[in-house]
Every structure is written in structure tokens, then in C-alpha cells.
Amino acid sequence: MYATTTTNVLTALTTLILLASPPTTARVIPPLPPYIFPRTTPNTPAQSPPLSLNDKCTFTIFHKQLHTPSQTQTNYIQLNTLTDHTNALTIDIAAQRPPAERNSYVKVGQHDVFALRGLFDDASLRIWGKAGSDELKLGSGRWEWSTARAEEDEEGDGIVAWCNAEEWNEGGNGSRERSVECGFPCARIEEDEDKEGREELR
């Protein structure tokens, strides 16, 4: 009798908890900064960066994919800072976004190109992708490379633009995420150039 009463009480409490729990929905844009995953074996070919970064810009892309039963994966990226080793600058990209979008992701695809303008010599950094593909493509000035292919110097002196992608971290609700470390050549800012534009990016 006592055991039966206890079981009934527990069953009733469990039912109340389930009824009180709010429904959950998948979020396309997470409200929190991305988790930086530990380095693991990459799932794309490793691209060895140059030994010296003195004339390079480097940055980390947080790459998120969403999968749905009705379509192939859709790519989103978040880029927060860019380090300009050539001119000893760190550009806070996240600070240029509205406060409500500070930690948001941007969709990239064949016709959805993320562009960071005003880096140097009126050049921009461009990032895009393709639905159904893990590969991210990048471009700046005359350089074009991707997470699957590095860009080599025309004179055969080695890699000048590259990306190294970490292994995917599988999440819930059909999503997964990885971090991608990239670099490319940066030009030196001459002393007589107008620096106001660069100051705004700091």
C-alpha cells in the first residue's frame, strides 16, 4: 500500500514538471559567444602557414552549419577580431556590429558574401561558401584560397594565404560547429597615408 502511494505521488510530480516545462526551439543565431573547441585532428587537409607572420593578417572564423531534413546544410560564420602583424594592429570587428548583434552569426553562400572592408589599400576580406558544402572560400586583393586549398606565392616561395579547419563538434538540433584559423598577406601602411579609417577599426 505504501509503495503504491509513493509511486503515484512520484508519477504525479513528474507529470507536473513535464507540463510546466516550456517548449524548446532551435536557434539559428546563438545568443552567447561561440565555444572555442580544443585542437583536434582536422578533417580538411592541413595547410602549413609560413614560419614568419610579420607581413600577414591572421584571424579565426567560427563556422556553424545547420542541417534540416528538407535541405542541405547552410553555412554561418562569426568573425570577431583580425590581427594585422604587419602594422602591429588588432582590429575589433565585433565592436563594429550593433550591440544586439555582437555575438551573431552571418549566413554565407554562393550569393551571400561576407565582406570586411577598409583593411589596407582599399582592399577587403571576402568570405563565402556554397550550400551543401563544408568548404569556405576566401579572397583579398589578388589572393584567393579556401579551407581546402592554400594560395602559394607566384614565384614558388611557399604558402602565402591559408586556412586550417578544426574537426567538427556535433551539436544538437541538426547543428555543428568548428573553428578555422586563417591568414593572408597584409600591406604596410605608409607614414604619409591617411590613418583615420584604420583608427576607426581599432
Residue 20 is assigned to a structural domain of this protein: no
Say how many domains are in the chain.
Answer: 1
Residue-level pLDDT at 46 = 60
Backbone angles phi, psi at 66, to 5 degrees: -115, 135
Q: If you average pLDDT over residues 72-98, what whole number do you get?
A: 92
**Domain of residue 160, residue span:** 44-201
Residue-level pLDDT at 67 = 86
pTM more than 0.85: no
Residue 10 is assigned to a structural domain of this protein: no
CB 86 within 8 A of CB 54: yes
Tell me which of 172 and 20 has the higher pLDDT: 172
Distance from the first to the final alpha carbon of the chain: 72
Residue 27 is assigned to a structural domain of this protein: no
Residue 177 is assigned to a structural domain of this protein: yes
Mean pLDDT (the chain, rounded): 77
Q: How far apart are CA 50 and CA 61, in angstroms?
A: 19
Residue 18 is assigned to a structural domain of this protein: no
Residue-level pLDDT at 73 = 87
| pLDDT exceeds cutoff 90 at 155 | no
Residue-level pLDDT at 122 = 65
Residue 81 is assigned to a structural domain of this protein: yes
Share of the chain above pLDDT 90, in %: 43
Residue-level pLDDT at 121 = 61
The dihedral of CA 26, 27, 33, 35: what is its sign? positive
Tell me which of 200 and 147 has the higher pLDDT: 147
Residue 87 is assigned to a structural domain of this protein: yes
Give how far Cα 184 sits from Cα of 29, 74, 176, Å.
Answer: 28, 25, 26
Residue 25 is assigned to a structural domain of this protein: no
